Amino acid sequence: MSFQNSHLLPLLLVALLPLILHLIDRRRARIVDWPALRFIVLGSRARIRRLQIREALLILLRSLLVLAIACALLRPVSRTVQTSRKRSMESRGVVLVIDTSFSMEYHEEPQGPSALEKAKDAALEVLDGLVPGDRVVIIAGKPERGEAILDLDAARRSVRDLAARSGSFRLLPALDAAGSSLQSMPASAREVYVFTDLQASMLPEKDPARWRFVGERLRARGSRPVLRLIDCGAAQPRNLFLSSLDAAALAAGTDEPTTFRVTIDGPRQASAEAVSIHLLVDGDLVATATAAEVPALLDLSAKLSRSGEVRIAAEGRPDGLSQDDVRHLVLDVSDRLDVLIVGKVLEDGRRGGASYVDLALVPRTPGQAEPPVIFRTHVEEDLPSSGLSRYRVVIFASPARIDEAMAAALEGFVKGGGGLLVFADRAMDLPSWSQLVFRGGHGILPASLSHARAGMNEERRPRDISTSHPVFSVFASPEDGDLSRILVRRWTGVAELSRDAQVLARLDAESPWIIEKRSGLGKAILVTTSATPQDSDLPLTPLFLPLLHRTTRYLSARDAASSNVLVGEEISVPLESGDLEAHVVDPRGKRTALPALLQNDGLRAGFCDTQLPGFYEIEIERPQPHGEAVKISSRIFAVNLPPEESRLDRLSEETLAEIREALGLECTRDIREAASISVTQEVKVEHWPMITALAVALLFAETLLAGTFARGRVPWKIEDGGDKK
């Protein structure tokens, strides 16, 4: 509080004037001891005390009256920030921040509105309170500064057209974008409304200091805006969802069992009954499994009858968020895997490494037909000049020679999705392989090799075997095969490992045995021993066949990440020439033409609007002069919801209270209250009218009390027809 007439502050001392006059009057009075009055005084002591109290009360009233008059002359005022829910005569600038992440599609009731629908209804009510001339900014999806909309009908259409899109909602960046939008608004009253479901992920880090910093930035930008957080979510969301659907990391073949693992997630209390999961292959139900509790991992097995890209789907129990009740997967299935084996069948009159590898992949005796296995082997002494596109895996059993053309072909093959397996042989041209294939760690070979560090006439046994890796998982139990019993007599030393190489097994602390590296869409594995018994006992043991089979299947498996993406991510395919046309068919069956774009790796056709979970197919066609286009090829992609959008855990009450205090915002679930017009202004309140009214009341009370006291001082009264008493 302050005073407009602060120079009149000495007037407050006049409040002591009635008390001073009373004291002076008492000193001027002369006391006479009259014996005749002693009996009257002794009999009226109580009445005298009452008179003294009345006189003190009268002095107090007169002092307060004088003090009130002095305060009114000083004109005291105070300033306060008030929020009014009435229509302001000033122009308004309103920012609507609407959470459009997929978690807002949750329905608390089966037939009720979703959180996003509640948010849109509340935003429309806020817009209904605006008048022409007010400005509104709508921020949805990726938080960024928006342009003010003057046409309120256009703003309403924008709100009605909002739909759930990819991307998690973050509160602090959204408020920062809202503040930037407010700064450019020429409005007197500024308001920010945030419509969200209070998902815990909206504040990924608990950082009160950063919250306060954002709040101070908002308050520092012009007039203090109204900040209101509208809770549109369910109070206790119970959402079960499928967070993953994975196939075995090894290549899948036709007419053989393939295992699929489904992860069911969600709050434990949500699973009041058993949850059934159905596995569908190309739309047909092939397997069912049941989980007694959640979270759970379920393994379902199925035989795949056709080769190519197969559509796999796992379906769970429908609930409030339908987008995560189904998980999609595109699996590349083969009826045969063509494997190129580079090496010699005979070396120095003995069976060469290529022979051992060939017999392990396709076991047979001389003169016997090839057994019905998935592998089709082709043995060559050098890489064929016709190219490697027909093969899924290239195995160097005796890698003696390599040149620039061969190295370039191998690198393109692996980065395009092929697999490479190299057995280091003592006749290997190590400098050429290190220079052309390892390339200082930038090539596809996991390591550079050196004879200087090779083991000669020493004995080692494999150790530190990564049994969690798909290649070695079959050997997790020693009863199924113990690789540590293999005797290694000679190996090639490793001079340098690539930065992103993974050592899967060792011979000793300084001698890796099996090393892997991923490059592009493919993988390469290096074994520092040869495929012949001269280096180790492995080719002569029963373990060689399952180890080589699993390694080849692992290298043959296509990179699942290239065909399985999340909503909002781009899907694309290469185009061989510019005269080809590309179309995409989305999960609803809508067919859209795709433009051809020139990128770093060549001409590609891409599609970015993958906001609907499901299967997308990109078709490549060649138009014909007089007729329909001819379909050249197609590629299928599976699009799924990010698991974090399905976790509907809400902000705790403690965290909510902290952000309220730090950011100075209100939080409510009442849509009507949220949509009401609120104007926050700094108001100057003058208190002299109220003080003047108080002075008038005190004057009236003093007059009434003084008259009462005057009548009370009369020691007698005259009765009609009587005497004075």
Q: CA-CA distance, 325 to 330, in Å (whole number)? A: 17
Local confidence band at 221 (pLDDT 50, 70, 90 cut-offs): low
**CB proximity list for 386: less than 8 A, separation 6 or greater:** none
pLDDT band at 236 (very low <50, low <70, confident <90, very high): confident
Given a cut of 90, is residue 33 above it in pLDDT? no
Least confident among 103-107, 315-319, 399-403? 399-403
Give 83's pLDDT tier (boundaries 50, 70, 90). Answer: low
Written as six digits, the tokens of 192 are 């920010």
DSSP percent split of the chain into helix, strand, coil, nearest 5: 30, 30, 35
Q: What is the pLDDT of residue 721?
A: 46
Higher pLDDT, 230 or 185: 230
In a 13 Å sphere around the CA of 513, the CA atoms on its Cβ side amount to 24
- Give residue 32's pLDDT band: very low, low, confident or very high (50, 70, 90): low
Length of the chain: 725
pLDDT tier at 716 (50, 70, 90 boundaries)? very low
Mean pLDDT of the chain: 84
Interstrand relation of 189-196 and 92-98 (parallel, antiparallel or unpaired) = parallel
* Widest CA span in the chain: 164
The mean per-residue pLDDT over the stretch 211-234 comes to 81
CATH code matching the domain that covers 563-644, chosen among 2.60.40.10, 1.10.10.10, 2.40.30.110, 3.40.1160.10: 2.60.40.10
Q: Among 203-217, 577-591, 605-619, 697-711, which stretch is predicted with the lowest mean pLDDT? A: 697-711
687: CB partners within 8 A, 6+ apart: 1, 76, 77, 78
Return the pLDDT at 597: 86
**Average pLDDT estimate for 341-354:** 85
594-613 pLDDT tens trace: 998 887 767 889 999 999 99
Q: Please report the DSSP string for 520-589 in residue order.
A: TTEEEEEESS-SSTTTBSGGGSTTHHHHHHHHHHHHHS--GGGTEEETT--EEEE-SSTT-EEEEE-TT-
Give the pLDDT mean for 686-704.
Answer: 81
Over residues 187-205, mean pLDDT: 88
Q: Which of 77-86, 277-286, 457-466, 479-488 is least confident?
A: 77-86
- The answer, yes or no, to whether the previous bond of 295 is cis (omega within 30 of 0) is yes
Strands (E), 304-446: 308-315, 326-334, 337-342, 346-347, 350-351, 375-380, 393-396, 419-423
CB-CB neighbours of 422 under 10 Å = 25
Dihedral sign from CA coordinates of 320, 322, 323, 329: positive
Name the segment(s) of the chain with CATH classification 2.60.40.10: 241-334, 563-644
> How far apart are the two ends of the chain, measured CA to CA in Å?
58
> Which ranges in the chain are annotated with CATH 3.40.50.880?
337-561
All residues at 6 or more sequence positions from 676 whose CB lies less than 8 Å from its CB, including other chains: 85, 129
Average pLDDT of the segment spanning 207-233 = 81
What distance in Å separates the CA atoms of residue 657 and residue 663, rounded to the nearest whole number?
10
Which range, of 66-70, 152-156, 605-609, averages the lowest pLDDT?
A: 66-70
Q: What architecture is the 337-561 domain classified under in CATH? A: 3-Layer(aba) Sandwich (3.40)
In this prediction, residue 188 has a pLDDT band, given cuts at 50, 70 and 90, of confident
pLDDT digit string (tens) for 624-650?
A: 887 788 888 899 999 999 999 999 999
- Let me know: does 353 contact 398? Beta carbons within 8 Å: yes
User: Confidence band (pLDDT; 50, 70, 90) for 271?
Assistant: low
- The whole-number pLDDT of residue 34 equals 62
In angstroms, how far is CA 110 from the centroid of its own chain?
25
Confidence label for 477 from pLDDT (cuts 50, 70 and 90): confident
On the CB side of 327, how many CA atoms lie within 13 Å of its CA?
24
Higher pLDDT, 272 or 77: 77
pLDDT digits over 364-418, tens only?
776 656 667 788 899 998 888 778 989 999 999 987 778 899 999 999 999 989 9
pLDDT value at 453 more than 60: yes
* Whether residue 584 has pLDDT greater than 90: yes
How far apart CA 189 and CA 130 sit, in angstroms, is: 12
Stronger pLDDT, 91 or 334, i.e. the higher one? 334
User: What class does CATH assign to 241-334?
Assistant: mainly beta
Which two three-digit tokens encode residue 130? Answer: 């605006």
User: What average pLDDT score do residues 529-535 get?
Assistant: 91
CATH fold for the domain made of 93-236+655-670: Rossmann fold (3.40.50)
Give the pLDDT confidence score for residue 719 in this predicted structure: 45
The helix/strand/coil state of 387 is coil
What was the pLDDT predicted at 212?
85
Task: Tell me the whole-structure pTM to 2 decimals.
Answer: 0.74
